[in-house]
Amino acid sequence: MRWLRCGLVLASLALWPVQAPAAPKQKEPAGEVMYRYTKPDGSLAVSATLNEQAIHAGYQVLDLSGRVLRREPAAPPEEQARRREAMEARQQAQQQAERDKELERLYAGPEDAVRARDRQLEALELRISYATNTLAQLEEKRDEEVSLAARAERAGRPVPEGTRQAIDDYQRRMAHVRREIAGYEKDKQAVREQYAPIIDRLEELEDS
């Protein structure tokens, strides 16, 4: 029973208790009756099987000629709410079990996820280091042009247009590199946030 197995996996997550849906009050011979019920959108449906929503909302049992054999009323509102919560709990349990299966396929354990996280952080650190070196070189070249401009002004000469353009160009390139570094720092934080719940869940699965 897959849903029961999923419910056990997520017991530590304090989900609602898993309860089986109500079954038709009478067992009908297979293939000898049909069920008519109202779907959530208000339209009527006729089916050879009953789904959980129909059991909650009430249904009619028909023979193969379409005659109504029996009517099953809708459950009381509080009972419908309880069953809906139980159904949502089962769905959450199944979804979590599928996510857990995928995590276990991707990672051998929490240590494996930590290594994967650290590899991404190290790659970003290399990019930051490279960008930082580039920024230092640009600043040095910019400062050289600024010095040329200052000497020209002290000598009473106009600052060469090429020097002005070079200073502006270095300033733009420096601003671009600074934005790159800030982006890499944000990426590092995103990697940490991405892997934190993965590592936590793998640790829970390992301890269970």
pTM across the whole model = 0.58
Q: Is the pLDDT of residue 11 over 80?
A: no
pLDDT digit string, tens, across residues 35-56: 998 888 888 889 888 887 787 7
Report how far residue 130's alpha carbon sits from residue 123's, in angstroms, rounded to the nearest whole number: 11
Query: Which pLDDT belongs to residue 31?
Result: 59
Region at 192 (left for phi over 0; alpha for psi -120 to 50; beta for the rest): alpha
Q: Is the pLDDT of residue 72 over 60?
A: yes
Sign of CA dihedral 189, 193, 194, 196: positive
- The DSSP H or E segment spanning 61 is strand 59-63
| CB-based burial, 6-28: b 16+ in 10 Å, e otherwise | bbebbeeeebeebeeeeeeeeeb
CB neighbour class for 177 (10 Å; exposed up to 12, middle 13-18, buried from 19): buried
pLDDT (average), residues 21-32: 53
pLDDT (average), residues 164-182: 97
Query: Which pLDDT belongs to residue 118?
Result: 98
pLDDT digit string, tens, across residues 109-161: 999 999 999 999 999 999 999 999 999 999 999 999 999 999 999 999 999 99
pLDDT digit string, tens, across residues 96-108: 999 999 999 999 9
